[in-house]
Each structure stands twice: as C-alpha cells, then as structure tokens.
Structure 1
Amino acid sequence: MPSIDFADSRSTPAARRDFAWPTDPASAPGTISSGICRGTLGELIQGPYISDGAAHISLISLPVKKYSCMHFTHGERAGADNALATKTKCQQAIGHYLALHRKQLPPGTWNHDSELLEGKGMASSTADIVATIRCLDAIFGIESPGESISATLRAIERSDSVFLDTYALYLSGRQQVVQCFGSAPTFHACYIDEGNRIDTEKTGARLLALYQERLTPYTANLDNAVDAFLRGDLAAIAACATVSAVLGQDAIPKRNLGVLLKNQARYGADGIFVAHTGSLAGYLYIHKPGPTQMGALSSFFRGLGYQSRFVQTGF
C-alpha cells in the first residue's frame, strides 16, 4: 500500500471550509478561545505494517463522539490550578507551535475538560494535544494542516489519527497516514472498562516483538480489513476487529475476551473490539440494539462485575 500525503488525505467538511477564523489575535480580556478533539474507543485494527523492510505499529482507530476540550481565557492571570500544570505534553505542544509560527502567547489562563478516560485506550493524551493545537489556532487565527499537527505529535508521543475526519490506516510511531478510506461506517458499541490503566508509551517495543512472532496472521487480517473498508462491508470490518482483538491477547490481554467470544452469538453481536493498549472491551453492532437487547447485555456484563456503556461510534 503506498503512502499518501497529508495534504491529499485531509477531510475538510463544508462547514469548516466556510468558517472564518478571527484575524485579530489580540483578543479582549475575558475573551475565551477554545479547541476540541474527539477520542476513540480503542481500535478496530492494530498490527504491523511493513515499510522500508521494517514493521511499524499501524492501526485503524474506532472514533467516538466523546471529546477533549482546551480553553484559553485572555487576560486572566494563571493560578495554581492552571490546567497545564500537569499537562506536560500539552506544554510541549504549545512550545512547538509557538516556535513553528514564531508567535508569543498573550497573557491568559488555560482550562481543560475531557470526557475521555486516561490510560484506557481512548486517545486521551493525543486528543488533549490536538485540542491544545486547535485552541492555539483559535487564538492566532491559524488553521493548522494535518502535516503540521502530525509533526507536533511526532515530536511528543506515539499516537493515532484522532485529528482526521475520516477512517485511516495510520502508523502511530511515524505519525503517517498510509491510506484514508472513503467509507465511514457507524457502529453501535456496548463496552466495559476492565479497570486497569495502561501506559501506552511503554508498550511499543513489546508490540513490535510480538508482531514478528505472528506476522502472517497479523498481515492477513490487516489486508482483509483494508479490503473490507474499500468495499464498505461493515460485517467484514467487524469480523476483522474480532480477529485483531484475539491477536492482541498476546500483547495486553483482556480478562473478559474469552467470555465475550463465547457469548457473541448469544447476544447477536457483529464483532468484538478492544482498546489494544488500554482496558476497554466490548461488542460491535451494525444495527442499534433495542431496549430489550440492551437490557440483556446490561445484565450479562453486570453478572461479570462490570457496568456496561452504550455509545455510537464513527463520524
């Protein structure tokens, strides 16, 4: 699969094309500039992508309509509760952005809010960084292109493609789009959080070592997933997600994957997904479960000791 440029892969909705960015960066005291970025429910696919003779961690994220928000109140003096005090990666992103654009941050205070749980595989760290970049865009009247965002992420962490408005096969270490997909499948997810917290940065070497051991099944599943996206075959995509979840057990095992597999047909799920470097796991449905089915699923997961959550995925 050939790589493609970010300039060719960005999705630019009509609403965003028509949006007029403010031209005066010197906002009045009290004015609030904000940036927002969606998160994920883990990945549909994670596995090796071979490029230049080496394996790279690739993924197709499962986007969810849950968000990280960063706000900047102009003119306010930063206090001890400044949101950036514990957001080291966001501080790095601000430094990178200001150096890139040769700007100086005006006086003001940062505030942060997020619906994304940390260390669970919801791309909370990446979403925070992207929300920070978009807040800076609002401050200075700039619209950062995809290649600029990816360059900032590359300097900070291994991440995913939450800043794109389309599904994509993405190399998380290189911060590179391999292929974007025209199809935008919507799934309905019923999921649980198994409770443990994962440090994504510490999993990279382990993943790459495991990829080498099972390169053939990983590669076959990735090829099948790309083909399924190109055909817009939701059932096949869900099936590939299940295979990816099973393969991922060698890396960061999910305690409940076995019982999920055993009961998939019973609860009529089209597939199983996991946060490969997180603690989320659950069922995928092409059609939204009805109240009776949702109740049965809630009882099932409650019997396992978890509270289930229901959410629609996609864009």
Structure 2
Amino acid sequence: MSGVVSGVCHGTLGELYQGPLRAGPDPDIAVVSFPVERHSWVHFTPGAARPLPLGEKSLTAARLFLEHHGLSSLPPGSWTAHSDLRVGVGMASSTADIVATLRCLSGIFSLPCDTDVVLGVLAAIERSDSVFLDEFALHLSGRHRVVRRLGTDIGFHTAYVIEPGTVDTAAVTSLLLAHYRRRGEEYERCLTDLLKGFACGDAAAVARAATTSAVLSQEVLPKTTFDRVLGHRERFGADGVFVAHTGCLTGYLFVRRPDSRVRSELSAFFRSLGHQCTFAQGGYG
C-alpha cells in the first residue's frame, strides 16, 4: 500500500426531531438528525509506526474493527485527526469521529465500509446519530436501527448560535424518557407531520414540524436563547426553528437563502443576545 488513506464523516446541527417513535409507556428515543457540511477526518500515512492520536472511542472502534475482520494489528504508519465539530454541543462529534475512523480503516485494508459493521461498532460504544448515512433517516439512537430512510430532497439554509456549556446525553436520558411519556401524543403528531413533509418533499412542512419538536424539547432541556429566537422567527422570515435537543445549538431554518440584509440583521440580533451567529447549509436538496 502507498499513499495517504483518509476517512471522512459529516456532523449535524442537532436534530429536526428527537422524541419517542410512538406514544407509550416504554418509549424508544428516535431522532431525525440534521446533517451539516462540517466534518471529522482521520488520516493514515504508511511509514514508521507512531501512537494513534485518536480519542478513546475511536481507539475502541479501531480495536472492534480489527476483531470483527480477524485482523491482528494495524500496519505501521502515522495517524492524524481533524474535526470541524464542537464536542458536547449537539454536532454528533464523537459519532462522526468513530465513523471517520472506520472509513479510514476500511480504506487501509481495502474492505467495504459495511453499514451493519458500523452499526455494530457504534452499538458497542455509544448512543448514536445517523451520520453514517448520506441521507436523512429516522433512526433509533439507542437500538442503533434505521427505521426509515428519508432521502436527500430536503435542505435548509441556517443561522444558529452555540450557547456556552456542554450536555452529557447519557446523563439526561431518564429525564427525556419521562418527558416523552408525558407528551407522547404531541410527539407522535409532530413526527407524523415531519414524515409527511419528507414524503412530499415539502421543506416548509418539515421546518414547521422541527419547530414543534424544538418547542417540546424546551420543556425538558431549555435553551437560554430559545424563547427569543422563536419570538423573532416571523421578523426574519424564517421557516422554522431547530435545536440540538441534547446539546447547546439554537437556530433558524430557511428554505430560501437569506440575503445579505437579513444576514446582517440576524447577526446583530444574535450578538444582542451575547452570541456570534454562524451560517451553514444543512441537509441536502
């Protein structure tokens, strides 16, 4: 083998939906992650063996990959990693790191990066987002099961902020499940509307359902800026509001790209709340 081998995985801007798959006393946590053009990279260069500068979860993923394929060791070489994704704020940074590592390893050994293998590795490490797919999906994050693929017809322009702090998803799971039991019927209607929007290719309908999911999330894991962001949605002509349900992101969804005047007004609004605004394209479409 010669030359550099890389693995890349996109992250998310939180979720368009996070809640129960259906109303009931024992809810599964279902997510429709919101893919964004921000990434994690893992690179391998053949040569002298060096320690892997990867995180604990990526190292575990590498070990599980080798075990699954009956491989005894990695070839000698150096590793580097880079990420655009903030840790602990709802951008799926650790899942993206793991998937990028698995994709790099698949390239090193000239093996296909099989989705079932990726899901098996993720299931052994953490609750995950569906960043291993290049499309939207309704995904059971704890069971690591794709319920429905939702395609690539929907895309949004976004303006968002990241509030200070981080969120430990595992630590808030019991709070989320109790909330889902209380508001199961509202979540079920929200998910039905979201899936209808995806089925029709109606981005505005998806944005409305994402707003409902964000409002429901505010009851259990509130964002400091959320109420003011929601209250100014019509002023900026945004089609919806989204959040990282177990993170620190809050922002607007636009079906059409906001012009420079609106971008300036958005930036001033978020700065008045004490935050730097970021613009990014999410989804596909």
TM-score by length of 2: 0.96
- Cα distance in 1 between the residues matched to 2:28 and 2:5: 37
2:182 matched to which residue of 1? 213
Q: What amino acid does structure 1 have at the position aligned with 2:101?
A: T
Conserved 8 A contact 1:42-1:275: yes
* Structure 2 residue corresponding to 1:88, chosen from 56, 69, 72: 56
- Cα distance in 2 between the residues matched to 1:232 and 1:183: 9
Q: 1:183 Cα shift?
A: 4.7
2:168 matched to which residue of 1? 199
Q: What amino acid does structure 2 have at the position aligned with 1:102?
A: G
- Cα distance in 1 between the residues matched to 2:47 and 2:147: 42
| Structure 1 position 98 matched with structure 2 position 70 | no
2:29 matched to which residue of 1? 57
1:6 matched to which residue of 2? none
Write out aligned runs for 1:129-168 (5 A). 129-168=98-137
Q: 1:144 Cα shift?
A: 1.7
Conserved 8 A contact 1:207-1:251: yes
1:33 matched to which residue of 2? 5
Conserved 8 A contact 1:241-1:271: yes
* Structure 1 residue corresponding to 2:243, chosen from 274, 277, 285: 274
Conserved 8 A contact 2:26-2:181: no
> Structure 1 unaligned runs (5+)?
1-26
Q: What amino acid does structure 2 have at the position aligned with 1:58?
A: A
| 3-state SS of paired residue (2:191) | helix
| Structure 1 position 260 matched with structure 2 position 232 | no
1:45–1:193 distance in 2 versus 1, CA, 3 Å? same
1:182 matched to which residue of 2? 151
* Structure 1 residue corresponding to 2:50, chosen from 78, 88, 95: 78
Conserved 8 A contact 1:78-1:110: yes
* Structure 2 residue corresponding to 1:250, chosen from 219, 227, 231: 219
| 3-state SS of paired residue (1:266) | helix
- Cα distance in 1 between the residues matched to 2:236 and 2:24: 43
CA RMSD between the two structures: 1.5
Q: 1:168 Cα shift?
A: 0.7
Conserved 8 A contact 1:183-1:230: no
- Cα distance in 1 between the residues matched to 2:174 and 2:78: 38
- Cα distance in 2 between the residues matched to 1:301 and 1:91: 38
Alignment length (residue pairs) = 283
1:274–1:313 distance in 2 versus 1, CA, 3 Å? same
1:222 matched to which residue of 2? 191
- Cα distance in 1 between the residues matched to 2:170 and 2:269: 33
Q: What amino acid does structure 1 have at the position aligned with 2:228?
A: V
2:18 matched to which residue of 1? 46
Q: What amino acid does structure 2 have at the position aligned with 1:171?
A: L
Q: 1:260 Cα shift?
A: 0.9
* Deviation string, structure 1 residues 284-305 (Cα, Å, up to 9, x no partner): 0000000011011111111111
Q: 1:186 Cα shift?
A: 1.1
TM-score by length of 1: 0.87
- Cα distance in 1 between the residues matched to 2:35 and 2:118: 18
| Structure 1 position 298 matched with structure 2 position 267 | yes
